[in-house]
Chain A
Amino acid sequence: METHAHGPQVIADPETLNPAKRTLVLNGALPGDETLEPVEEALLALLREERTEIRGYAMRDVPLAHCQGCFECWTTTPGLCKTEGDAGREIAGAMIKSDLMVILTPVTFGGYSSEIKKAMDRIICLVLPFFRRVDGEVHHRRRYPRFPAVAAIGVLGAPDEEQARIFRALVERNARNLDCPVTAVCLLPADAPPADVHDRLAADLEPVLAHVGGRVA
C-alpha cells in the first residue's frame, strides 16, 4: 500500500466507491519486514470488490507519540488526546468514522506488533471513562453510538498454536471492550502461497466483508 508518512491516502478510485461505507487499514509491518505485502495486496483486492472507500496507514511511516497514561483525553480535552502535532487524533477520527477497521500485523508474542500498538494505545479517547458491566465484567461506556467492525489479520513466522490462541483471544477482548458489532480473525503463515492467501482472507473475513459491503443489516 502506498501510504503517505503524514495523513491517510484514499486508495480506491473514488468513482467506484460506495460512499456510505469506509474501511480503515492499519498495516503494522515493522521496519524492513516485507512479508505482509502480498497479504495486503490480496486484502485490498477483496475490499475493492466491496466498493468501500479504503484508507490506509503504514504505521511504520507514521511518527506517533506514545500514550502517556495521563487520562487527559477523558477529563481535560474530552474525546481528544492532549498530544497534538502528530497523527494520533487523525487516526482515532478515521477509526470512529469507519465501518470496518482492518488490523494487519505480524503476530508478535501472540499479540499485535508495536507499530499497531502505537495507534491502538491512542484510542482510549473513543470511549468514556465511566464504567458499564457486560456479562458481569466491567468495561468502559461508549462515547460514540457505534464502533467499526474489526478484522485482524495476523501473519505468523512459523506455526505456533499458543500464539494463535492468544491472538484470537486478544481480538475477541478488544471487540468486547470497544463494543464492535462484528469481528473476524485470519491467521496466515508468512510463506503462504498468494492463491491461498486470497482464499483464506475471503473465507475468514466473510462476516466483516458482508458487514462493510452492506450485505447484512
Chain B
Amino acid sequence: MSARRAVLLVGSARPPGTGNSEALASYLLARLVEGGMETEVFHVHRCQRPEKERALFEAVDEADLFVLSTPLYVDALPYLVTRCCERMAAHRAAKPTEHRSRMVALVNCGFPELEHTLIALDICRVFARQAGFVWSGALGLGGGEAIGGKPLEEVGSMTRHVRSGLDLAAEALLADRVIPEEAQRLLARPMIPSRMYTTLGDIGWLRTARKKGTLRRLWDRPLG
C-alpha cells in the first residue's frame, strides 16, 4: 500500500523559504511526514504558467490531503490564491473523480488578533465545498509577522503554543479527523502581548525607514 500524500500550496508571494505561511505549514508538514505521509510543496506565484498550474492541479487531484497556507491580504485571500482557487474549482468540476481529497486551511495575518482571518477561513471552507474537497478544518493566526519567516523551532518559546496547536492538528489529520477546536484555541494565544506587538511593529517601521533614508517621507501622500 502506497503512503498517503499531502500537497501544500503556499499562498505567499514572498520567495520560498522566507514567508510566515510557509514556516507555519512546514512545521505541520514535518509532523505529517513523521506520521508516514509523503508531501509535496507548491508556491502559488510559481504556478501561473499553464504547465505549472496543471502540475499543481494533478498533484492535488491525487492527494489525500490538500493544505492551503496563506497570508491575509486586505481581509481575504490574496489575488493569486483567489485566482488559483477559481481555476482549481473549475478544473475539478470538469473532471469529477471518486477520490475525495481532504482540505485544511491556515491563514495568518499581521494584525495581532486572529479575528481578522475568520472571513478568509470562511472563504476557504466555501471553496472546499464547491471544489469537492472534504473539509477538515482551519486555523487562523494573528501576529504572524512575529515569526519573521523562520522555522517555528528557531523562533523559540514564543511559538510554543503555535507548535502545540499544529501538533494537535497533525495528529487529527493523520487519523482522518477534523482539526479539533483546541488546536485553534492554542493558536489564538498571542505570541507577544498585543500592545508590545504593535509598539515593536511601529518601531520596526521607523527603523527600516531610517535605514532606507525615507524616514521624513514615511507619511507622504503622493496620490492625493
- A, B: real partners: yes
Task: Say yes or no: B219 contacts A78, CB within 8 Å.
Answer: yes
Nearest CB to that of A125 among chain B residues?
A: B223
Task: Say yes or no: B130 contacts A109, CB within 8 Å.
Answer: yes
Question: What string of 1s and 0s marks CB contacts (under 8 Å) between A15-26 and chain B?
Answer: 000000000000
> B130 — which chain A residues lie within 8 A by C-beta?
109
> B214 — which chain A residues lie within 8 A by C-beta?
75-78
A9 at the interface (CB under 8 A from B): no
Task: Say yes or no: A173 contacts B123, CB within 8 Å.
Answer: no
Q: How far is the CB of A9 from chain B (nearest CB, A)?
A: 19
Q: How far is the CB of A118 from chain B (nearest CB, A)?
A: 5
Given A109-B85, A174-B75, A137–B119 Cβ distance below 8 Å?
A: no
> B219 — which chain A residues lie within 8 A by C-beta?
78, 128, 143
Task: Say yes or no: B79 contacts A93, CB within 8 Å.
Answer: no
B86 at the interface (CB under 8 A from A): yes
Interface bin, chain A:
35 or more
Between A76, A78, A89, the greatest number of chain B beta carbons within 10 A of the residue's beta carbon is seen for: A78
Task: Say yes or no: B12 contacts A123, CB within 8 Å.
Answer: no
Question: What string of 1s and 0s marks CB contacts (under 8 Å) between A87-121 and chain B?
Answer: 00100110011000000000011111110011011
> B113 — which chain A residues lie within 8 A by C-beta?
137-138
Residue of B71, B112, B123, B212 near A110 (CB, 8 A) is: B123
**Among A40-48, A163-171, A184-192, the stretch in contact with B:** A163-171
Task: Say yes or no: B205 contacts A129, CB within 8 Å.
Answer: yes
Number of A-B contacts (CB under 8 A): 147
> A114 — which chain B residues lie within 8 A by C-beta?
79, 82-83, 86
**Among A49-57, A62-70, A201-209, the stretch in contact with B:** A62-70
Task: Say yes or no: B198 contacts A169, CB within 8 Å.
Answer: no
Nearest CB to that of B44 among chain A residues?
A: A66
Give the docked Cα–Cα distance between A10 and B7 (Å): 46
Task: Say yes or no: A138 contacts B198, CB within 8 Å.
Answer: yes
Task: Say yes or no: B86 contacts A67, CB within 8 Å.
Answer: no
Task: Say yes or no: A124 contacts B74, CB within 8 Å.
Answer: yes
A162 at the interface (CB under 8 A from B): yes
Task: Say yes or no: B13 contacts A69, CB within 8 Å.
Answer: yes
> A30 — which chain B residues lie within 8 A by C-beta?
86
Q: How far is the CB of B210 from chain A (nearest CB, A)?
A: 10
Q: How far is the CB of A135 from chain B (nearest CB, A)?
A: 11
Interface residues of A, dominant DSSP:
mixed
Task: Say yes or no: B115 contacts A137, CB within 8 Å.
Answer: yes
Q: How far is the CB of A160 from chain B (nearest CB, A)?
A: 8
Task: Say yes or no: A66 contacts B79, CB within 8 Å.
Answer: yes
Give the docked Cα–Cα distance between A138 and B222 (Å): 25
Question: What string of 1s and 0s marks CB contacts (under 8 Å) between B44-77 and chain A?
Answer: 0100000000000000000000000001011111
Task: Say yes or no: A170 contacts B223, CB within 8 Å.
Answer: no
Given A114-B79, A138-B112, A120–B86 Cβ distance below 8 Å?
A: no
Residues A114-173 near B (CB distance < 8 A): 114, 117-118, 120-121, 123-126, 128-131, 133, 137-139, 143-145, 162-163, 166, 169-170, 173
> A69 — which chain B residues lie within 8 A by C-beta?
12-14, 19, 71, 73, 78
Given A69-B14, A75-B214, A109–B74 Cβ distance below 8 Å?
A: no
Residue of A67, A77, A93 near B73 (CB, 8 A) is: A67
Task: Say yes or no: B198 contacts A166, CB within 8 Å.
Answer: no
Given A66-B79, A109-B123, A166-B122, A97–B223 Cβ distance below 8 Å?
A: yes
Q: How far is the CB of B221 from chain A (nearest CB, A)?
A: 6
Task: Say yes or no: A123 contacts B217, CB within 8 Å.
Answer: no
Give the docked Cα–Cα distance between A79 and B218 (Å): 8
> A78 — which chain B residues lie within 8 A by C-beta?
209, 214, 217-220, 222
- List 10 additional A-B contacts (Cβ < 8 Å) besides A67-B13, A130-B205, A131-B202: A76-B212, A78-B222, A80-B222, A97-B223, A108-B86, A111-B82, A112-B82, A117-B73, A138-B198, A169-B119
* Interface residues of A, Cβ cutoff 8 Å to B: 30, 66-70, 74-80, 89, 92-93, 96-97, 108-114, 117-118, 120-121, 123-126, 128-131, 133, 137-139, 143-145, 162-163, 166, 169-170, 173-174, 177
- 6 A-B pairs whose Cβ atoms sit less than 8 Å apart in the complex: A67-B73, A80-B223, A108-B86, A117-B74, A138-B112, A138-B194
